[in-house]
Amino acid sequence: MEPIQAQMVFCCAEQWMGGYFYQVEPWGDGLRLDPGHASTGVYCLTAVDSGETGFLWGRAAVEADLPADTALRIYARAADTRRWEDWPDLDRGIQSLGASPMASLREIFGAPVSDSGDCLLPCVGRYLWIMLELTATGTQAPVIRTLRLWMRGDHMTDYLPAIYQGEDFTRRFLSIFDSMYTDMDRRIDTLPGQMDYQHAGGDLLRYLASWVCVERGGSEEELRQRIRTALPDYEDLYTVEGVRRSVRRLTGRDPILIEPFQVSPNRPDCQDPVLYRRLYGEDPYRFFVLLPEDTFSGQRERELFQRDMEAVIPAGMTMQMIQLKPCVQLDWHTYLGINARIGGYVPAVIDEQATIHYDTTIGGANHE
C-alpha cells in the first residue's frame, strides 16, 4: 500500500487573511488568541471548494502550541451550496456579524467535531467551512501553526472487497489506523527536510548543533549562524582571531589581546625592561585579555567566562583577564583651570590578583 494523499495546507499569513477574525489575530504565519481581549476567540476559514457535489470530507489536523490552561475546539460544516438561510453567501454573512457573533456562529456550526487538533470530519458537501475556537484561562496565549485538510487519496478500505467499502463504520474504524500509517509515512518522507538546520527549530536545532560541537548559543538564528560557519571557525579556533571571536561570542565585547612577544622585556626596542617585567612577567605561555570594567554583572559570570575560555585557547597557554576602567589620561602639560600640571605615573604589576586601575600608566617619558 502506497497512499497518495491530496492535502490542502494552511500555513502562511496570506492564506489566513481572507477569513473571519474575532478576538484572534495573525501571529507570524499562524494565528494567536488576542491577549489583550477576552479569553475566547474564533477564526472562521473561508469556504474550501472540493469541486465535487456530495464530497465526503475526511480528516482535519491542526498543529498548535497549547500551553497549560488553553484549549482548541474545531467546528465544521459542509454543504453543496454557499447559501445559508437568508444569506446567499455564508462567507459574506459571517463577515457581517456584529460585535457579539458567538451565538450566531454556534448556531451555524453546531457542536464542535473535536476538542483536539486531529479529527475526522462528519461532513458531506462540496463546500467546507472550518471554525477554530481558542480558549485561555491563564496568562499564555495559544497559537495555531498549521491546518491540514485531507481532500482525497488512498484509504485502507479501498483495498477491501466492495461489500466493505460502503460501510461507514468500517471506514471510520480503519481511518484510525490509516491516519497513523499516513502520518508515519509523511514523517519519513519529510525527514531529510527536518534535518536541515536552516529550517529546524527548538530541541531539534540544538541537537543538530551538537553534531558540530556547537553547544551554546542564544537565539535560534545565532545557532544557525554558528552552524553555518562551524568549519572555518574550527580551522582558526586557536589563532588570535579565533580567540578574539570566542571572547566576543561569550561577552558581546571586542577585547584587546596582548601576546607575550609584544611586551617581552627582552626585546631590543623595549625602553623599560624592568617595568615590563613587573607588569607582564616573562612567562612566554601567558597572554592577556583586556575588557571593559562593566563586561560582567558579577563574580559568578566572570568565573563562568574564564572557565569557558579554557576550552577554546591553545593547549599549554594560560589566559589572564584584565578589566579596564574608563578614564581620561592627563599628559605632562595638562591645565585644570589653575596654574597646575599633572605628571608622573604609578607602576603596577599584572598578576592573577591585580587589575589595571584607571590611574595606571604603562610606559613613561624617557627621563623617568
What residues contact 55, with CB distance under 8 A and at least 6 apart?
78, 124, 125, 126
pLDDT above 60: residue 338: no
- Check whether 308 has a pLDDT greater than 60: yes
Question: Within this chain, do residues 143 and 11 fall inside the same structural domain, yes or no?
Answer: yes
Whether the CB-CB separation of 147 and 130 falls below 8 Å is answered with yes
Highest mean pLDDT among 5-9, 319-323, 346-350: 319-323
- How far apart (Å, rounded) are the C-alpha atoms in residues 22 and 31? 11
Query: Would you say residue 368 lies in a domain?
Result: yes
Q: Which residues contact 35 (CB under 8 A, 6 or more apart)?
A: 136, 141
Q: Answer whether residue 353 is part of any domain.
A: yes
Alpha-carbon distance of 230 to 244, in angstroms, equals 16
Closest by alpha carbon to 5, among 127, 146, 185, 228? Answer: 185
Sorted by sequence, the CB contacts under 8 Å of residue 324 that are 6+ apart come out as 290, 291, 292, 293, 356
pLDDT at 1: 40
In this prediction, residue 42 carries a pLDDT of 92
Which carries the bigger pLDDT value, residue 63 or residue 183?
63
Residue 313 forms part of a structural domain: yes
Which of 154, 177, 203 is the C-terminal boundary of a domain? 154
Q: Is 129 found in the same domain as 267?
A: no
Note the pTM of the prediction, 2 decimals: 0.50
145 with 272, same domain? no
**Boundary residue ending a domain (121, 154, 187):** 154
Give the cell for residue 272: 623599560
Domain residues for the domain of 32 are 5-154
Quote the number of domains for the chain: 2
What local confidence, expressed as pLDDT, does residue 350 receive?
A: 62
Q: Is residue 217 part of a domain?
A: no
pLDDT, average across residues 23-51: 87
In a domain, 265, yes or no: yes
Q: What is the largest CA-CA distance in the chain?
A: 113
Claim to verify: residue 9 and residue 139 sit in the same structural domain: yes
Residue 94's SS3 state is helix
Is 323 a member of any domain? yes
DSSP 303-316: HHHHHHHTTSS-TT
d(CA 34, CA 24): 5
Which pLDDT value is given to residue 342?
Answer: 55
143 within domain boundaries: yes
Domain boundary among 101, 124, 154: 154
Q: Give pLDDT, residue 249.
A: 85
pLDDT at 79: 93
Q: Which residue has the higher pLDDT, 154 or 34?
A: 34
What nine digits make up the cell of 59? 480528516
Residue 345 located in a structural domain: yes
Length of the chain: 368
Q: In this predicted structure, what is the pLDDT of residue 44?
A: 94
Average pLDDT over residues 163-176: 72
**Cell reading at 124:** 458531506
How far apart, in whole angstroms, are the C-alpha atoms of residue 148 and residue 153?
14
Neighbouring residues of 176: CB distance < 8 A, sequence distance ≥ 6:
none
- CATH number of the domain that residue 119 is part of: 2.60.120.260
